[in-house]
A and B are shown apart, each in its own frame.
Chain A
Amino acid sequence: MSEISLLQSALLLGLYVALAGGYGFVYTIARLRDAIMLQQTSFILYGLHGLTAIAIVAWTPLQVGWKGLIVASSAAFLAIPPITWRFLQRTHETEVQ
């Protein structure tokens, strides 16, 4: 791996997870406030995360197995916030506040 692609790849990988986190964070706030705009913002962040995943697959010298892991993880990152939200709702709905 060349020194430039080392830094590019690492930064893309960090951005990849950071954007997934951003999507999850904004999605949760959107659901808390029932705010459509925020929910759309969260999906834009996920879109950017997806673009980062595509960049990793297309432009980094990682092997194909790792690129497959990136794609699979992106699917997981998409699902985690809504599933976690629904599960949080369900587990808390029986609580007496």
Chain B
Amino acid sequence: MYRSQQLALKYLTAAVALFGVMTVAGLLSAYYYINPDFLFGILHFNIAKILHIDTMIIWLLMGFMGAIYWFLPEEFGRELVGIRLAEILFYVFCAAVAVVAIVFIVVQYGNSNEIALWFINQGRKYVEAPRWAAIGVVVVMAVFAYNVLGTAYVTGKVTGITAVLMIDLVPLLVLYLDAFPAISNMSADLFWWWWLVHLWVEATWEVLIGCIMAWTLMQLLGTSRRIVELWLYIEVALVLGTGILGLGHHYFWIGTPSYWLTIGGLFSALEPLPLLGMVIHAVYDAGTHHMKTTNRPAFYWMLAEAFGNFLGGGVWGFMITLPQINLYAHGTQWTVSHGHFAFWGAYACGVLSVIYLVIQKVRGLAYVDGTLWKWSFAALNMGLVGMVGALLVSGFAQAFVERAIGGSTHEAFMLGQDNHWFVEGMITRFIFGLMFVAGYVALVWDLLTIGRRAPVLAAAGAAE
């Protein structure tokens, strides 16, 4: 195994661990809606939420990095350049994440000065980590980019997938620089912040996961490089073709000119079209292989990726993207419903698929199947869909009562929060959150034990 692949295993392990932290923080955040006095005066919703959303970003990033560290040495045919530095930085990264989280929990707030921004909490969503840690993230990502670009330079060997990846790493890194400024003008602050958030999760990350899925498909289904590269280019064209100006769907209400209502709404409305193509492609691949594969969990998580992306991003997104609807849905639990579904489908399922593929290689398994992964798959997906459905009901109630009827005053907000549909939605969300937690526990147990529990039944389905 290449050293880079050993590093990949570390990143993927850290990713799964942070997925757990994210889940616990999410459960805590959800509980505050049911019992607002919980830990009042000790730990509040905003800190729980910060832990939840920041670990989400980091576990997915670590999942991407782990996947890329796994696939790249085989792609380049050699160890990655600068791997020793990357190995050291992995531990620095993990230590930094731990310190930042502990400071969030224990210190929580500083005074309103630069010291607080540098060492405690920057207070901008997803990028709350203090500046010292943001510098650390830049360093980690820069070395990651060096590992990739440096190896390409030394080998002189650039495949289509690695070329797309390398080009994608540049905006990925540059966009993160918006994690540093503290612009006083909220309109300008949010304008640039959305460059980072949207052009990460609806552009550069889509390309990243596209590259990772390309390698995964080659190994999982034996698809040829020519085909995956061809489809990768089509995907990049369609997803970025709609997503770059789809950024405008965040520019409806932040003080930007009204032409964004048309431009953002139009391109955002087109975003589901490539996602439909992805569903068809996934079904085609599954069908031509007669649903047979040597790695059933990896295969099913990849199918979940295609369908989750379409439903969470496409269907749920389309419901709220047109400006006339968004005016009422904006900043409600409806947004939360879409966000959870889209992130799960677009990224989490894909990372889990890769993790199972890597486990197959690492444990030398001819065939990967079992019972536990199915329980985990069911509980995680049903838990997630249950949460999304509950949040949709709460979101409808909130948009209805607070925005449409109440005019979004403080009183209207509280009437919305106290509305019985809203409250029941929040309770239901929590219950499905518990199901999700159970699925996570089953996932971890399965990842630790699959292929190790019983003799591998190599004959029973491997020969397809």
Contact A14 to B315, CB < 8 A, known contacts A1-B324, A1-B404, A3-B404: yes
A40 interfacial by beta-carbon distance below 8 Å: no
Q: Which residue of chain A has the shortest Cβ distance to B392 in the bound complex?
A: A14
A6-B323 Cα distance, complex, nearest whole Å: 12
A80-B284 Cα distance, complex, nearest whole Å: 14
B63 interfacial by beta-carbon distance below 8 Å: no
Interface residues in B372-419 by Cβ distance below 8 A to A read 396, 399-401, 404-405
Quote the shortest CB–CB distance from A27 to chain B (angstroms). Answer: 8
A29-B288 Cα distance, complex, nearest whole Å: 10
A21-B280 Cα distance, complex, nearest whole Å: 9
Q: Which of A9, A28, A66 contacts B287 (CB 8 A)?
A: A28
B227/A21 in contact, CB under 8 A:
no
A55 interfacial by beta-carbon distance below 8 Å: no
A24/B280 in contact, CB under 8 A:
yes
Set of chain A residues within 8 Å of B272, measured between Cβ atoms? 17, 20
Q: Which of B227, B320, B400, B405 contacts A95 (CB 8 A)?
A: B227
B284/A13 in contact, CB under 8 A:
no
A24-B315 Cα distance, complex, nearest whole Å: 14
Quote the shortest CB–CB distance from A45 to chain B (angstroms). Answer: 13
Set of chain B residues within 8 Å of A6, measured between Cβ atoms? 325, 328, 399-400, 404
B451 interfacial by beta-carbon distance below 8 Å: no
Q: Which of B277, B288, B400 contacts A80 (CB 8 A)?
A: B277
B101 interfacial by beta-carbon distance below 8 Å: no
B322 interfacial by beta-carbon distance below 8 Å: yes
A2-B318 Cα distance, complex, nearest whole Å: 19
Set of chain A residues within 8 Å of B258, measured between Cβ atoms? none
B177 interfacial by beta-carbon distance below 8 Å: no
Q: A1-41 CB contact bits vs B (8 Å, 1 = yes)? A: 11100110111011011101100110111001100000000
Interface residue range, chain B: 35 or more
A20-B405 Cα distance, complex, nearest whole Å: 32
Chain-A contact segment, one of B117-125, B180-188, B262-270: B262-270
B230 interfacial by beta-carbon distance below 8 Å: yes
B279 interfacial by beta-carbon distance below 8 Å: yes
Q: Which of B315, B399, B400, B404 contacts A21 (CB 8 A)?
A: B315
Contact A91 to B325, CB < 8 A, known contacts A10-B319, A14-B319, A84-B280: no
A18-B311 Cα distance, complex, nearest whole Å: 7
Q: Which of A18, A32, A65, A95 contacts B315 (CB 8 A)?
A: A18
Quote the shortest CB–CB distance from A9 to chain B (angstroms). Answer: 6
Q: Which of B279, B329, B405 contacts A10 (CB 8 A)?
A: B329
A61-B315 Cα distance, complex, nearest whole Å: 20
Contact A16 to B324, CB < 8 A, known contacts A25-B283, A92-B227: no
Set of chain A residues within 8 Å of B318, measured between Cβ atoms? 13-14, 16-17
A contacts with B: majority SS: helix
B322/A28 in contact, CB under 8 A:
no
Contact A3 to B400, CB < 8 A, known contacts A21-B276, A80-B277: yes
Set of chain B residues within 8 Å of A11, measured between Cβ atoms? 319
B155 interfacial by beta-carbon distance below 8 Å: no
Contact A73 to B273, CB < 8 A, known contacts A11-B319, A81-B280, A92-B227: yes
B277/A84 in contact, CB under 8 A:
yes
B316 interfacial by beta-carbon distance below 8 Å: yes
Interface residues in A64-85 by Cβ distance below 8 A to B read 65-66, 69, 73, 76-77, 80-81, 84-85
B281 interfacial by beta-carbon distance below 8 Å: yes
B425 interfacial by beta-carbon distance below 8 Å: no
B46 interfacial by beta-carbon distance below 8 Å: no
Set of chain A residues within 8 Å of B324, measured between Cβ atoms? 1, 9, 61-63, 66
Listed residue (A3, A10, A20, A61) with the most chain B CB atoms within 10 angstroms of its CB? A10
Q: Which residue of chain A has the shortest Cβ distance to B401 in the bound complex?
A: A3
Listed residue (A20, A27, A62) with the most chain B CB atoms within 10 angstroms of its CB? A20
Q: Which residue of chain A has the shortest Cβ distance to B328 in the bound complex?
A: A6
B276/A32 in contact, CB under 8 A:
no
A95-B310 Cα distance, complex, nearest whole Å: 28
Set of chain A residues within 8 Å of B280, measured between Cβ atoms? 24-25, 27-28, 80-81, 84-85, 88
B276/A62 in contact, CB under 8 A:
no
B224 interfacial by beta-carbon distance below 8 Å: yes
Set of chain B residues within 8 Å of A84, measured between Cβ atoms? 277, 280-281, 284
A95-B327 Cα distance, complex, nearest whole Å: 49
Quote the shortest CB–CB distance from A19 to chain B (angstroms). Answer: 10
- Residues on A lying within 8 angstroms of B by beta carbon are 1-3, 6-7, 9-11, 13-14, 16-18, 20-21, 24-25, 27-29, 32-33, 61-63, 65-66, 69, 73, 76-77, 80-81, 84-85, 88, 91-92, 95
- Residues on B lying within 8 angstroms of A by beta carbon are 224, 227, 230-231, 262, 265-266, 269-270, 272-273, 276-277, 279-281, 283-284, 287-288, 310-311, 314-316, 318-320, 322, 324-325, 327-329, 396, 399-401, 404-405
21 A–B contacts, CB within 8 A, in A order:
A1-B328, A3-B399, A6-B399, A7-B400, A9-B325, A14-B315, A14-B316, A20-B272, A21-B279, A21-B310, A24-B280, A28-B284, A32-B288, A66-B269, A73-B273, A77-B273, A77-B276, A85-B280, A88-B280, A91-B230, A95-B224
